[in-house]
């Protein structure tokens, strides 16, 4: 009934297995990839005909995690998987980016890739397993896919590169100081196609070494996929790219001069209008048959690409007049908004981000329910890209995949310089509102986020800047690396290479390549050129940071204190009674964790002090020989009980009330009276012994007679 093909190799510390032929047999390609006990099923289907008038490649990748894979029941009211989590969206993008450029040019049939996590061993992250499964499913499906690809994760600890580190070592690098890198690389046998990383100020050489290490590490996986395909791949889909050379010649003859003049305009809006006019002029000179050709859009794009690319490589001059290494003019402003905790307006050429920082308490931390466990995040970065930022009308609604991806890239770039939670116990939320865009708005978010947090008084280890690099690689091997690329250069170029970091090193790297000819030498040169651009931007940012920013008066103040873990129960009280009383009486927020770290938050310093004193009185121990102010709570024949330290009471014997004999303590005391007492010590049964007569009751200072006696 089943025609099963199964292949395995030892990959790093685990066995990697690819299996097909038993499950989802009606899909064009279906593979279950297993690493350790983490299994992901990838299913590929593609349309056998192109939709009429289709002028783009409709590839869709969905990665979804099933909670049953880790033996969990989903949270929420409905108890089932709902909209994609951030991890699922980011992983879908990770898989999409390296496979998209590898479909045969001109193929515009709809393709759907669905990756489903079936089993998770809580050790091996399923995202790379999903990428391998998707590549294998595409390779055996018969689709015109020029793969296979493979992907892996690389760590860097104690000076050594680590292949596919365990998931607990990677999901929060801050908790693992030895681990300085979380790098994902995808590539073919000959070239790297995609890089995504989060790092702790690695040098360019260390980062390049990690990419090379990863590319070498995926070679056995690529060979495994090829071995699988040789046994069970379907017949290749009969697809012949359309020959539209005659149409291209007609388009070029009709509008090359007008298009060159349009691209010579340096202002983006004027250039966009001129290009649109040139396209209209071209269409006006074509026949009805040529206008009806579904390859007309491709022919026009090829003309635009040839003009932009050829001129840059030949002359070194770009469409906005810059050379290949110049960064556009930068203007940085901090304190842009009056009531926010921190704000900055970062403008680089025609790209602008308004970035705002809000400081919250422990109550504001984000709870993340992941397959490998539930944890909290105290650093949030949200990126918004409204249509007006590019002068267009369009959908305005919840964040899409692009916005989530760009926000995560900026998050990765900034997290490395955040202070430890014990030093700065705030939840930090950064929001980047992109108000203009022509070039990398994610890197503008990095720069603006760094400025905004510093304006809010967040003690960053160092400012962070980011720059987007581009590449134009011609067929003859000539190339040009571009610093601070424009939107058109990104759209028509061969590489999008974003690098962010401090003056000391790289904190985030993202690379997408559209061609399979990027050499290590080109990458090394791009990294070096990116460093020059990053240092230039940091210099411009430093001009806006002349001094340390004052902590916003509108932000909550937080004080931390550490209590012994065996005292936590006393602070919380039965059913939370004590901690609720502290919050009600003081007016401050109080948060306590299992390690005994207590965060007290309020915009009122007096409320923080009140809560601090109340907690201190519960957990602290009275010191022998110290004077305390207390209240008489009970009178008995042999003395008075005084509440002198939190809820702690002690006995002042009748002989210790005054330097004279008293018939009864009520001769001089009454319940509710405030008195000064000195802690003499503890008796054999641990009872507290107090004295009033050795303290001046008017001043609270030691009595002179007592000083003489001592």
Query: Domain-by-domain residue ranges, the chain?
Result: 5-232, 245-315, 330-542, 557-619, 627-709
pLDDT band at 625 (very low <50, low <70, confident <90, very high): confident
Q: What's the mean pLDDT in 436-453?
A: 95
598-617 tens-digit pLDDT: 889 888 888 999 999 889 88
The pLDDT of residue 56: 86
Residue 297 to residues 81, 144, 282, Cα–Cα distance (Å): 40, 21, 11
Residue 34 pLDDT exceeds 70: yes
Tokens of 695: 């303290």
The pLDDT of residue 8: 97
Q: Is residue 73 within a helix (H) or strand (E), and if so which, with residue range?
A: none
Residue 706 pLDDT exceeds 80: no
pLDDT band at 710 (very low <50, low <70, confident <90, very high): very low
Q: What's the mean pLDDT in 129-140?
A: 98
The pLDDT of residue 154: 96
For the segment(s) 330-542, the CATH number from 3.30.230.70, 3.30.200.20, 3.40.50.970, 3.90.1150.10 is 3.30.230.70
pLDDT band at 705 (very low <50, low <70, confident <90, very high): low
Residue 547 pLDDT exceeds 70: no
Using alpha carbons only, what angle is made at residue 414 by residues 411 and 418, rounded to the nearest 5 degrees?
Answer: 120
Percent of the chain with pLDDT over 70: 97
The pLDDT of residue 294: 81
- The fourth-level CATH superfamily of domain 557-619 is K Homology domain, type 1 (3.30.1370.10)
Tokens of 517: 């000819």
Q: Comparing C-alpha atoms, which of 8, 37, 10 is closest to residue 20? A: 8
Regarding the domain delimited by 627-709, which CATH topology (the fold level of the hierarchy) does it fall under?
A: OB fold (Dihydrolipoamide Acetyltransferase, E2P) (2.40.50)
pLDDT band at 321 (very low <50, low <70, confident <90, very high): confident
In sequence order, which residues have a C-beta less than 8 Å from that of residue 601 and are 6 or more positions away? Answer: 361, 362, 556, 557, 558, 559, 588, 589, 590, 591, 608
36-39's contacts with Cβ under 8 Å and 24+ in sequence apart are: 36/121, 36/123, 36/124, 37/119, 37/120, 37/121, 37/123, 37/124, 38/117, 38/119, 38/120, 38/121, 38/123, 38/124, 38/125, 38/126, 38/129, 39/69, 39/117, 39/118, 39/119, 39/129
Residue 709 pLDDT exceeds 50: no
For the segment(s) 5-232, the CATH number from 3.90.550.10, 3.60.10.10, 1.20.1740.10, 3.30.230.70 is 3.30.230.70
The pLDDT of residue 707: 44
Residue whose tokens read 């496979």:
99
- Does 245-315 match 627-709 in CATH topology? no
471-504 tens-digit pLDDT: 888 777 788 899 999 888 887 788 888 999 999 9
What residue ranges in 278-350 does DSSP mark as E strands? 330-334, 342-348
The rounded distance, in Å, linking the Cα atoms of 11 and 562 is 45
347-350's contacts with Cβ under 8 Å and 24+ in sequence apart are: 347/436, 348/439, 348/444, 348/447, 348/484, 348/537, 349/320, 349/438, 349/439, 349/484, 349/486, 350/268, 350/436, 350/437, 350/438, 350/439
Residue whose tokens read 């991806």:
405
- Top pLDDT among 158 and 535 is at 535
Q: What's the mean pLDDT in 120-141?
A: 97
The pLDDT of residue 708: 39
The pLDDT of residue 546: 65
Torsion of CA 535, 536, 537, 541, to 10 degrees: 90
Residue whose tokens read 């690493």:
35
Q: What's the mean pLDDT in 521-541?
A: 93
Backbone angles phi, psi at 588, to 5 degrees: -100, 155
Q: What's the mean pLDDT in 215-220?
A: 97
The pLDDT of residue 215: 95
The pLDDT of residue 516: 67
The pLDDT of residue 549: 65
Residue 238 to residues 28, 149, 300, Cα–Cα distance (Å): 14, 22, 26
Residue 592 pLDDT exceeds 80: yes
Regarding the domain delimited by 245-315, which CATH topology (the fold level of the hierarchy) does it fall under?
A: Arc Repressor Mutant, subunit A (1.10.10)
Q: Is the dihedral of CA 330, 419, 531, 215 positive or negative?
A: negative
226-255 tens-digit pLDDT: 999 999 999 999 888 888 889 989 998 988
Would you give the distance in Å from CA 482 to the centre of its chain? 26
Q: What is the mean pLDDT of the chain?
A: 90
| Burial of 237 per CB tally in 10 Å (0-12, 13-18, 19+) | middle
Q: What's the mean pLDDT in 507-524?
A: 84
Q: What is the CA radius of gyration of the chain?
A: 34
The rounded distance, in Å, linking the Cα atoms of 482 and 625 is 74
332-385 tens-digit pLDDT: 999 999 999 999 999 999 999 999 999 998 888 888 888 888 888 899 999 999
Residue 271 pLDDT exceeds 70: yes
Percent of the chain with pLDDT over 90: 53
In sequence order, which residues have a C-beta less than 8 Å from that of residue 652 and are 6 or more positions away? Answer: 639, 640, 641, 642, 665, 675, 677, 690, 691, 692
Secondary structure of residue 9 in the 3-state scheme: strand
Residue 106 pLDDT exceeds 90: no
């Amino acid at each position: 009934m089943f025609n099963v093909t199964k292949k395995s190799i030892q990959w790093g510390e685990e066995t990697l297995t690819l299996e097909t032929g038993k499950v989802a047999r009606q899909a064009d390609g279906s593979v279950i990839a297993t690493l350790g006990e983490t299994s992901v099923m990838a299913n590929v289907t593609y349309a056998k005909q192109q939709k009429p008038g289709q002028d783009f490649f409709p590839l869709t990748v969905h990665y979804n995690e099933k909670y049953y894979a880790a033996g969990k029941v989903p949270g929420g009211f409905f108890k089932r998987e709902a909209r994609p989590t951030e991890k699922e969206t980011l992983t879908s993008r990770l898989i999409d980016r390296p496979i998209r450029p590898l479909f045969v040019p001109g193929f515009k049939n709809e393709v759907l890739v669905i990756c489903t996590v079936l089993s998770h061993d809580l050790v091996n992250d399923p995202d790379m397993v999903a990428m391998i499964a998707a590549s294998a499913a595409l390779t055996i499906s018969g689709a015109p896919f020029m793969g296979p690809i493979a992907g892996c994760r690389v760590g860097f600890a104690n000076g050594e590169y680590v292949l596919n580190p365990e998931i607990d070592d990677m999901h929060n690098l801050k908790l693992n100081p030895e681990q300085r890198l979380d790098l994902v690389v995808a590539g073919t046998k000959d070239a790297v196609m995609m890089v995504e990383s989060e790092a702790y100020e690695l040098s360019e050489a260390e980062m390049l070494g990690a990419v090379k290490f990863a590319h070498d590490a995926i070679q056995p996986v690529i060979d495994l996929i090829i071995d699988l395909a040789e046994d069970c791949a379907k017949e290749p889909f009969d697809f012949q790219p359309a020959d539209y050379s005659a149409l291209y010649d007609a388009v070029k003859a009709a509008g090359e001069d007008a298009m060159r003049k349009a691209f010579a305009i340096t202002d983006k809006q004027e250039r966009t209008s001129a290009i649109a006019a040139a396209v209209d002029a071209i269409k006006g000179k074509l026949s009805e048959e040529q206008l009806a050709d579904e390859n007309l859009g491709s022919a026009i794009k090829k003309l635009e690409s040839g003009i932009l690319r050829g001129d840059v490589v030949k002359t070194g001059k770009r469409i906005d007049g810059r050379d290949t290494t110049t960064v556009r003019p930068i203007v940085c402003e901090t304190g842009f908004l009056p009531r926010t905790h921190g704000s900055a307006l970062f403008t680089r050429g025609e790209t602008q981000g308004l970035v705002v920082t809000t400081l919250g308490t422990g109550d504001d931390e984000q709870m993340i329910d992941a397959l490998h466990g539930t944890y909290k995040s105290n650093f949030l970065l949200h990126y918004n890209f409204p249509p007006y930022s590019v002068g267009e009308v369009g959908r305005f609604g919840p964040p899409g995949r692009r916005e989530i991806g760009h926000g995560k890239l900026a998050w990765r770039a900034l997290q490395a310089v955040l202070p430890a939670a014990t030093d700065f116990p705030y939840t930090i939320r950064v929001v980047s509102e992109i108000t203009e865009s022509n070039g990398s708005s994610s890197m503008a978010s990095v720069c603006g986020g760094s400025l905004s947090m510093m304006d809010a008084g967040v003690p960053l280890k160092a400012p962070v800047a980011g720059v987007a690099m581009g590449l134009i690689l011609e067929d003859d091997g000539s190339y040009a690396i571009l610093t601070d690329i424009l939107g058109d250069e990104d759209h028509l170029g061969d590489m999008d290479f974003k690098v962010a970091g401090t003056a000391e090193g790289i904190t985030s790297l993202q690379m997408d390549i559209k061609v399979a000819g990027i050499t290590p030498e080109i990458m090394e040169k791009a990294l070096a050129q990116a460093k020059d651009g990053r240092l230039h931007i940091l210099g411009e940012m430093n001009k806006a940071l002349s001094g340390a920013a004052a902590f916003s008066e509108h932000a909550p103040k937080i004080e931390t204190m550490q209590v012994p873990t065996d005292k936590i129960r006393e602070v919380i009280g039965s059913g939370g009674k004590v901690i609720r009383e502290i919050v009600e009486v003081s007016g401050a927020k109080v948060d306590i964790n299992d390690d005994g770290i207590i965060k007290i938050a309020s915009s009122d310093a007096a409320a923080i002090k009140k809560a601090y004193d109340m907690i201190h009185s519960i957990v602290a121990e009275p010191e022998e020989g110290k004077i305390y102010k207390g209240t008489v709570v009970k009178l008995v024949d042999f003395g008075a009980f005084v509440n002198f330290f939190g809820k702690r009471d002690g006995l002042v014997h009748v002989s210790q009330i005054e330097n004279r004999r008293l018939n009864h303590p009520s001769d001089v005391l009454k319940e509710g009276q405030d008195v000064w007492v000195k802690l003499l010590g503890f008796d054999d049964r641990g009872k507290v012994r107090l004295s009033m007569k050795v303290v001046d009751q008017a001043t609270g200072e030691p009595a002179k007679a007592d000083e003489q006696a001592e």
